[in-house]
Structure 1
């Protein structure tokens, strides 16, 4: 059993350990998942909806495809240290665009070492980091809108639930229980957190103080680390309940909701268990396309649905407010 890291913890390190939810971690792990061959036991419903949009937008042939290859390494500058408990994608993209040129080049050198070569888009990025990082951020924003934004209310609820569970676990049982329960490859002993089953050794003197813990819906069976002193090391792990993320949910008893919203708007909300276009919703509900559009406009104005551009169409998705409303109806 090979030790990847052994982070010794002082009282100061424990005081600086915190949880955060990072959109960029979901971007990187989900993009790599889309490029994997074969079906996925958990995320296949999402892949089936999203992959064709990503291919149609050409993102499978863009700079992201070169920056996020199938191998184990991804450039560290794509995961800037989150400042707060839940940075927005816009905040993380701003940090990526502000990455110093020398850091970009070091990360690309490391990526080339792992990949054995460098594609044409990465050669351009290496030559002109400040200008080309703008293009990288634009591609990430496009991918987010196509692949993650329509599902973010559901994903974010999963990640927030994990953080809530871990926080309660810490309060009731202490840090040792928290760390030992995060993942089978992690263990806490003698004031140190050990990560096993990896090849590269990293120790506290080569990392920053504290630790950032990031639950992820797409991290897969393993854990992912990002270490760049003097920033605190980041550790992304699979969130609890990911296996049920895309399961169909029981239909609520909608009479009470319909009495407030109307039956057509309530029907549309229940049909948005997965994001859908106006045309799809009209076909499934029997409501005319113009009627669906009017109802969706009203629901969006009320904060119950969100709209996301996907090529020539617009996908509508339930917001967290709508999810809470329907959950209460259960």
Structure 2
């Protein structure tokens, strides 16, 4: 993607690591792109300097442009404003309606889990790497880190563009921010929005697999009914299992799959 970015957007490559990390002021929580870019442009100078210093200490070279950005040079910040809008139009604008639809379906689904099954089930359903140890929420991260809650609450933010491990940060108001991979990432969203809300959340094939798993089925039977390979059916089942929507158990050479109460609840809600 870096090679295809229009020239006005390329200054952003100086700020964002190839691994995806970037200064936090560049990625504020907002309701839409206009508000988000406005928040970036009004970032406090102390925050900007601290975040640029942090990124340069990780893997970003301290370029002349970054120095000017840290000094709040007017023309450089105009460059940043133009770069953000250019990158949005080149990378996300054509997918924005689908991103919004998938985001609202995802958040509605999580809200239903919260209302029906409580906070503990909601948090552990975000990723297979999350578990409770007494009153402590444990999350597998690439490195050991302890995050103390300040009592301000937790913000759950699904990402349709990130399929890796959970990301944790702090909001400016002290709330804990957890960014988790959405059940269906962007590449699996169809070009035309499905009329079935379950398909909008899971993708058409995976939604069908969940419906089939109302009655216990083997991986081979799922593959036959979905008209996909056994390997593809196994991958669909793995994703549903990690989301807590089905259980799987082996009996001899066969692996059987069936809906969990959470999966049945989702099917009922979308009916």
TM-score, length-normalised on structure 1? Answer: 0.53
Partners of 2:36 and 2:186 in 1: how far apart? 27
- Give the superposition deviation at 1:198: 2.6
Between the aligned partners of 1:188 and 1:122, the Cα distance in structure 2 is 41
Q: Match for residue 89 of structure 2?
A: 145
Q: Secondary structure at the match of 2:164?
A: coil
Cα 1:200–1:97, aligned 2, differ >3 Å: closer, same or farther?
farther
Q: CA deviation at 1:208?
A: 7.0
Q: Which residue does the alignment assign to 1:227?
A: 170
Is contact 2:16–2:22 with CA below 8 Å preserved after alignment? yes
Distance 1:129 1:186, change over 3 A: farther
Superposed displacement of residue 117, structure 1? 2.5
2:57 and 2:24 mapped to 1: Cα distance? 14
CA RMSD of aligned residues (A): 2.7
State the alpha-carbon separation in 1 of the partners of residues 159 and 173 from structure 2. Answer: 24
Q: State the alpha-carbon separation in 2 of the partners of residues 118 and 124 from structure 1.
A: 10
Give me the whole-angstrom Cα distance separating, in 2, the residues matched to 1:250 and 1:126: 42
Q: Identify the range of structure 1 (178-187 vs 73-82) with the bigger mean alpha-carbon deviation.
A: 73-82
- Consecutive unaligned residues of structure 1, counting only runs of 5 or more, are 1-33, 36-50, 253-330
**Which gives a bigger RCO, structure 1 or 2 (Cα 8 Å, sep 6+)?**
1
2:99–2:186 contact (8 Å) kept in structure 1: no
Question: Cα distance, 1:213 vs. partner?
Answer: 0.9
Distance 1:196 1:181, change over 3 A: same
Residue 78, structure 1, aligned to residue 26, structure 2: yes
| Equivalent position SS for 2:157 | strand
Who is 1:215 aligned against? 158
Question: What do residues 281-301 of structure 1 show as CA deviations (whole Å, max 9, x unaligned)?
Answer: xxxxxxxxxxxxxxxxxxxxx
Residue matched to 2:263? none
The 3-state SS of whatever aligns with 1:77 is helix
How far apart, in 1, do the equivalents of 2:60 and 2:87 lie? 26
**1:108 match:** 52
Q: In the alignment, is residue 193 of structure 1 matched against residue 141 of structure 2?
A: no
Cα distance in 1 for partners of 2:194, 2:44 equals 50
Structure 2 residue runs of 5 or longer lacking an equivalent are 196-271
The match for 1:69 is 17
Q: Distance in 2 between matches of 1:227 and 1:189?
A: 22
- State which of 121, 124, 127 in structure 2 corresponds to 1:183: 127
Structure 1 residues 193, 132: CA separation in 2 closer, same or farther (over 3 Å shift)? farther
Give 1:36-185 correspondences, 5 Å limit.
Answer: 52=4, 54=5, 57-58=6-7, 62-71=10-19, 73-82=21-30, 87-115=31-59, 117-128=61-72, 132-185=76-129
Secondary structure at the counterpart of residue 125 of structure 2: helix
1:95-129 alpha-carbon deviations (Å, 9 max, x no partner): 11111111111001100110163223212212225
Tell me if structure 1 keeps the 8 A contact 2:161–2:186: no
